[in-house]
Amino acid sequence: MIETEPIDRLLPEERTLLARYQAGDDAAFEALILPFETAIFNFGLRMCGNREDAQDILQETFINAMRYLKGFRGEAKLRNWLFRIASSVCQKKHRRSKFAPEREISLTQFYDNDDTSEVLDVADERRLPDDELLGSELGQRLSAAIGGLPKKYRVVLLLRDIEGLSANEVADILDMSVPAVKSRLHRARLFVRQQLQTYLSGRAVS
C-alpha cells in the first residue's frame, strides 16, 4: 500500500501554536483560538437570534475545541474545524429546544409571489451595497430576513455568503453533498431577496 503524506491545512503560525499547545503550553490555546471569537459569536448570534444562545455557542465551541485540539492534526483549516464544531453545537441546541419542525423552501413559492420591479434594471448593479449602507437600516433588514430562514437553509447561507467559505468547504463542514449545499443556498438567497424586496424596490425608484 502506498502511504501518502497527511494533508496539512494549517497556516505556518497556527502549526507552531498547535505544536506548542500539544506540548503542554496552555497559553498557545488562546493565541490559536481567540482570533475566531468574533466569527463564532456572530455565527451563533445569526443562527439563534439572541445573545444568550450565541454566548452558549461560543463557550461550547471553544470548550470542545480545547478537548479535541490535542488530537487535531490540521487535516482541515482551523476556522472550518471550529465552524464544524459550532454547527454541531447549534444543531444539538436546536434539538433540545421546542422549535416547530423545519419547513422546506420550495422554488414554486417564488414563481407566483414575485414582486420584481422592472424599474430595477442592470444599470443598478453599480449601486451594490456598501459597508455604510449595511451598518444602517439595510443591515437590520438583512438580519431579520436571514433570521426568518429555516435553520437548515440559514446555516448554509451563513457559511457560504456571510463567511465566504466555498461550497465544497460548506459541504464538508455540514456533511452534505455539494449539490445539496448549492440547492439550499439558492433557495435561501431567493428567500432573503424576497424579504428585502420592499427595500429593493424603494431603492429602485428613489
Partner 1 sequence: MTPRCRELLKRCSAYLEGDLEKACCAEMEQHLKECARCRAMLVEVKWTIEACRHAAPSEVPPEVSAAMRTRLREEREAIKATQPG
Q: Name the residues that contact partner 1, by CB under 8 A.
A: 26, 29-30, 37-39, 41-42, 45, 51, 54-55, 58-59, 62-63, 66-67, 107, 110-112, 114, 116-122, 124-125, 128-131, 133-135, 138-139, 142-143, 146, 157, 161-162, 164, 167, 182, 185-186, 189-190, 192-193, 196-197, 200, 204
State the Cα–Cα distance between residues 43 and 136, nearest whole angstrom.
20
Structure-block grid coordinates of residue 78: 482551523
> Rounded to the nearest whole angstrom, what is the least distance from the CB of residue 87 to partner 1 in the complex?
17
Structure-block grid coordinates of residue 121: 434594471
> Rounded to the nearest whole angstrom, what is the least distance from the CB of residue 118 to partner 1 in the complex?
4
**For the CA atoms of 175, 178, 184, 186, what is the dihedral angle to 10 degrees?**
150
Nearer to partner 1, 42 or 88 (CB): 42
> Rounded to the nearest whole angstrom, what is the least distance from the CB of residue 8 to partner 1 in the complex?
26
**For the CA atoms of 140, 145, 146, 147, what is the dihedral angle to 10 degrees?**
90
> Rounded to the nearest whole angstrom, what is the least distance from the CB of residue 34 to partner 1 in the complex?
9
For 101-123, letters b (16+ CB in 10 Å) and e give eeeebeeeeeeeeeeeeeebeee
Nearer to partner 1, 2 or 134 (CB): 134
Nearer to partner 1, 91 or 183 (CB): 183
Nearer to partner 1, 102 or 114 (CB): 114
> Rounded to the nearest whole angstrom, what is the least distance from the CB of residue 141 to partner 1 in the complex?
9
Q: What is the DSSP letter of 101?
A: P
Contact by Cβ (8 Å): 197, 115: yes
Closest among 44, 188, 45, 200 to 116, alpha carbons compared: 200
> Rounded to the nearest whole angstrom, what is the least distance from the CB of residue 84 to partner 1 in the complex?
19
Nearer to partner 1, 8 or 144 (CB): 144
Structure-block grid coordinates of residue 43: 455565527
